Structure 1
Amino acid sequence: MPVIKITESFAQSAKQGAYWDTELKGFGLIVRPTGSKSLVVQKSGRKRYTLGTHPTMRIAEARDLARRRILEHDTNGAFGRIDDRITLRQAIELHAQDMREAGKVSQERMIEEAERHLQPWLDRQLGEITKRECRERHKKLSRLSGPYCANRVFRIIRAVYNKALKTLELPPNPTIGVEWNREYRRREPVADLRDWRERIDEIQNPVRRDWWLFVLSTGLRRTDALTVRWDEVNFDEGTIYRPKPKGGVDRAFTVPLSRQALEILQCRQMENPVMFGDDLGWAFPAWVNRDRRKVVSHLVSPRDRQVHVPSAHRLRDTYASTALDVDCPRIVTKILMNHTVPDSDVTEGYMRPSMETLSRWQQYINDQLWNKMDYN
């Protein structure tokens, strides 16, 4: 087998065969008949391990990783195992399963974002993803989808990779190569609700259209609003129960609904059977692809590509700002929006407004919102 110093220029022009590095014994380049090029590490007489593929993995990065693998061999001379079987998609699924078991609710949003922004990487081996790739992909995503989205997507990779590192032998987390975008807390209530309502009315899908109005009228978080089930709505008492909000089951809460929100839900109760036959208990159902079949589940992505509207969280800003406009007590707003009442405030720590009080303020807030839309 040829022995030569493996460089970027050599790797680019190398023909079929196996080449071993003169600089680091055990580090090699394998060029297959298909033209694919694998960077490997092997100690004499031991099993060979793949570090990555060229040019996805740069030579300098592969050589450093090979050096670490050689230094990390155990007393029997075996290499520390680089698990080159698990893909990014599989790692995300495992992480999502752990989140489900912990009672967290953001795993579906995580999977949705990964499918949308990381599609070319999903079936790649986790250990092949490099710092350079992460840095370049993050910059590109920042340009195309915005700095907040880029940070959010790469926080997913960071979390998924760190979880995999607990049980698998992998290179260091490649997201350390990312230069994170600076983020600012955004407080951007919708300035013109009349214009917003006109755009919402352009949405063809009545489930999506009603969902946006429901979010505005409740101030619920995106996932809480997407996953409403009929057995969580009490039409007699005019309340809704959210069993797994942000923070998990320990933060479960019940709040009153306004007349407008109840009318939206009643409309869905009447229309869902016509559209879906059986909505399977979802207030805002949708057809989704699962195991190559179309099945009914809850609405997952409420955005309509034909109609541009602010994100659901901007409606939460709008709801909170409108609560301030009608002089709603701060503690009532916090409870309606499922925000933590600070223990540092001794007086507020004793206060727990009645459901009647919460209902009255909920209606005041909604009446103001609908007046701003010029809609009654």
Structure 2
Amino acid sequence: MANPKDSHGCIHRFNAVLKAMTQHRNSLSDRNIAALPFVASRQEIVRDADLSGFFLLVGARSKTFMIQGDLRVAGKRQTIRIKVGEVGKITAREARAKAKALLGSIADGIDPRPKAKPGASVPSNSNDPTLREAWGRYRDGHMKRKNRSEGTIENYRDHVERLMSDWLDEPLSRFGEDPALVVVRHEKITKEHGSYIANGCMRTLRAIYNHARKAARALPADNPVSAVDWNAESRRDTALGLSDLPGWFAELAALDNAMRREFHLFLLFSGHRPDAIKKARIEHLDFKNRVLHIPKPKGGETKAFDIPLSRPMIRCLVRAIRIGRTFYPDQASEWLFPADSKSGHLAEHKEKRSDLSKWGNELRQTFRTIAQAAGVPELDVHLLMNHSIPGVNAGYITRNALLRDHLRSQQESISRKILEAARADRKGKSSPRGTWPLVGGRDFLSKILDLTGRRP
């Protein structure tokens, strides 16, 4: 039996959606249409009181006769919306007769829209694109032009082409006019996939709709996602504390794949995103200036930056280079973390939780947590992690001016704090320095010269 409180909540949200929709019924005659005022803030739909599916779209400067019907082909339903004519160019009687013919064809399973000639593409309705068309334009005209990362584009694609696949050929106007559909879909995704994915999917739809409406001004002005009651989200607290590091290092040392060991360790030392480090190239490593250049991080080429390298980070990269040249000689000439993969670099960084309890972005959160414990100021942490700098005055700070000395010194402090914690046993006592990666080794810098031909 349904929970009465849940039912009451659904009814309340649905009524709120209906209240927000600007549409009503009227007998669409020339006299009644002439008496209807233009609207300034949002388009208004006036449905005909006599012919279902026939309506008038009233905007700031125009009034347009429209029809909408559901075409069923092979058991699948597709909503079709067609412009009948502009008020002033066609009378209400002529528009109703044309609307009856169009709606009759749709009811018979016939698509009345004009067919393209062989070899020609079917022109889309620029005033009312389908979700598929709007997604394609947003992806190619906005995301790729703004140099969004492949991971970000793939995330949006998953939302549209998997979670909203049955909507791909629906016109966006259907959701603008009936936002209750979006509310129901958000609740469905929440139940089946979780609250975070449901919210993310709705953000994707909101962005696509807003982008489409820049060109398709006939779409309802109110974004249908505004009707959604968002799921509560909280920052995920998955970082390691200082007392957790000895156990994590023991797990890391037990991994069979030496290259993956160094990769996870470098993520912890640097605090950066896995995808950016996976794609790091040998040519991006500058031992002389002790930096690793990241040319295309999240946010695109305009966010390019240099990671200052502490001495433990350099040791880590030296070991990775040696391992790569031993096991992946062909790929190692190009990639810092090579692998026997299609791309030539490490492609998958996830581990079984029973083997390694924390990896990926959890190590990024750990870096930030340990930076605070090491006494590194918040602004320096933002700069080291390539975050946007908060505050107006911070915009005048030149990152490169701080890179050589100040930020590298802060990076050394964080790496030192990590290793000190890793050396401590459960009672807080320091353990001997004798095993990977705690052994210092004073000759590690000379080994760089042997590996790269360049002295740091």
Deviation at 1:239, TM superposition (A): 1.2
Pick from 280, 284, 296 the counterpart of residue 232 of structure 1: 284
- The answer for the alignment partner of 1:127 in structure 2 is 171
**Normalising by structure 1, what TM-score?**
0.65
Deviation at 1:216, TM superposition (A): 0.8
Deviation at 1:219, TM superposition (A): 1.4
359 and 111 in structure 1: CA distance in 2 versus 1, 3 angstrom threshold: same
Pick from 93, 98, 115 the counterpart of residue 158 of structure 2: 115
116 and 248 in structure 1: CA distance in 2 versus 1, 3 angstrom threshold: closer
1:259 lines up with 2:308 in the alignment: no
Residues 284 and 293 in structure 2, CA contact (< 8 A), matched pair in contact too: yes
1:82 lines up with 2:128 in the alignment: yes
226 and 240 in structure 1: CA distance in 2 versus 1, 3 angstrom threshold: same
**Normalising by structure 2, what TM-score?**
0.55
SS in structure 2 at match of 1:255: strand
Q: Deviations over 1:46-83 (max 9, x none)?
A: 8969xx99xxxxxxxxxxxxxxxxxxxxxxxxx98433
303 and 112 in structure 1: CA distance in 2 versus 1, 3 angstrom threshold: farther
1:355 lines up with 2:399 in the alignment: no
- The answer for the alignment partner of 1:303 in structure 2 is 350
Pick from 156, 161, 164 the counterpart of residue 209 of structure 2: 161
CA distance in 2 between counterparts of 1:147 and 1:240 reads 37
Q: Matches of residues 201-350 of structure 1 in structure 2 within 5 Å?
A: 207-245=259-297, 248-272=300-324, 274-275=327-328, 277-278=330-331, 281-285=334-338, 295-296=342-343, 299=346, 302-304=349-351, 309-310=357-358, 312-339=360-387, 340=389, 342-344=391-393
CA distance in 2 between counterparts of 1:199 and 1:182 reads 34
338 and 373 in structure 1: CA distance in 2 versus 1, 3 angstrom threshold: same
CA distance in 1 between counterparts of 2:208 and 2:340 reads 28
268 and 140 in structure 1: CA distance in 2 versus 1, 3 angstrom threshold: farther
CA distance in 1 between counterparts of 2:254 and 2:134 reads 38
- The answer for the alignment partner of 1:36 in structure 2 is 76
Deviation at 1:177, TM superposition (A): 4.0
Residues 105 and 244 in structure 1, CA contact (< 8 A), matched pair in contact too: no
CA distance in 2 between counterparts of 1:351 and 1:237 reads 12
Deviation at 1:162, TM superposition (A): 2.6
CA distance in 2 between counterparts of 1:135 and 1:209 reads 45
- The answer for the alignment partner of 1:69 in structure 2 is none
Q: Deviations over 1:71-115 (max 9, x none)?
A: xxxxxxxx98433483576356425xx33433x444423314643
Q: Residue 121 of structure 1 aligns to which amino acid in structure 2? A: M
SS in structure 1 at match of 2:209: helix
Residues 200 and 209 in structure 1, CA contact (< 8 A), matched pair in contact too: yes
Deviation at 1:134, TM superposition (A): 3.9
CA distance in 2 between counterparts of 1:196 and 1:88 reads 46
Residues 308 and 403 in structure 2, CA contact (< 8 A), matched pair in contact too: no
CA distance in 2 between counterparts of 1:153 and 1:204 reads 38
CA distance in 2 between counterparts of 1:269 and 1:170 reads 58
CA distance in 2 between counterparts of 1:132 and 1:276 reads 57
349 and 302 in structure 1: CA distance in 2 versus 1, 3 angstrom threshold: closer
Pick from 93, 101, 108 the counterpart of residue 145 of structure 2: 101
Q: Matches of residues 180-195 of structure 1 in structure 2 within 5 Å?
A: 180-186=230-236, 188-191=238-241, 192-195=244-247
Pick from 416, 422, 425 the counterpart of residue 373 of structure 1: 422
Q: Deviations over 1:210-257 (max 9, x none)?
A: 332211101124443343222221123321123344555454332321
CA distance in 2 between counterparts of 1:278 and 1:367 reads 32
**Farther-moved stretch of structure 1 (357-366 vs 82-91):** 82-91
CA distance in 2 between counterparts of 1:181 and 1:365 reads 36
24 and 352 in structure 1: CA distance in 2 versus 1, 3 angstrom threshold: closer
- The answer for the alignment partner of 2:57 in structure 1 is none
C-alpha root-mean-square deviation of aligned residues, in Å?
4.4
Q: Deviations over 1:5-44 (max 9, x none)?
A: xxxxxxxxxxxxxxxx943444444444x33344444545
Deviation at 1:371, TM superposition (A): 3.1
Percent identity over paired residues: 23
Gaps of 5+ in 1: 1-20, 54-78, 289-294
272 and 354 in structure 1: CA distance in 2 versus 1, 3 angstrom threshold: closer
323 and 157 in structure 1: CA distance in 2 versus 1, 3 angstrom threshold: same
Deviation at 1:167, TM superposition (A): 3.7
Q: Deviations over 1:313-352 (max 9, x none)?
A: 4323322232232333555434322342745479989995
CA distance in 2 between counterparts of 1:263 and 1:250 reads 29
**Farther-moved stretch of structure 1 (191-200 vs 318-327):** 191-200
SS in structure 2 at match of 1:277: helix
Q: Residue 373 of structure 2 aligns to which amino acid in structure 1? A: D
Residues 338 and 345 in structure 2, CA contact (< 8 A), matched pair in contact too: yes
CA distance in 2 between counterparts of 1:178 and 1:225 reads 37
Q: Deviations over 1:177-212 (max 9, x none)?
A: 432223344565313223434555566665554332
306 and 332 in structure 1: CA distance in 2 versus 1, 3 angstrom threshold: closer
126 and 286 in structure 1: CA distance in 2 versus 1, 3 angstrom threshold: farther
**Farther-moved stretch of structure 1 (241-250 vs 222-231):** 241-250
SS in structure 1 at match of 2:171: helix
Q: Residue 282 of structure 2 aligns to which amino acid in structure 1? A: W
SS in structure 2 at match of 1:86: helix
347 and 86 in structure 1: CA distance in 2 versus 1, 3 angstrom threshold: closer
CA distance in 2 between counterparts of 1:118 and 1:348 reads 42
Q: Residue 132 of structure 2 aligns to which amino acid in structure 1? A: I
Residues 91 and 161 in structure 1, CA contact (< 8 A), matched pair in contact too: no
Residues 279 and 296 in structure 1, CA contact (< 8 A), matched pair in contact too: no
- The answer for the alignment partner of 2:429 in structure 1 is none
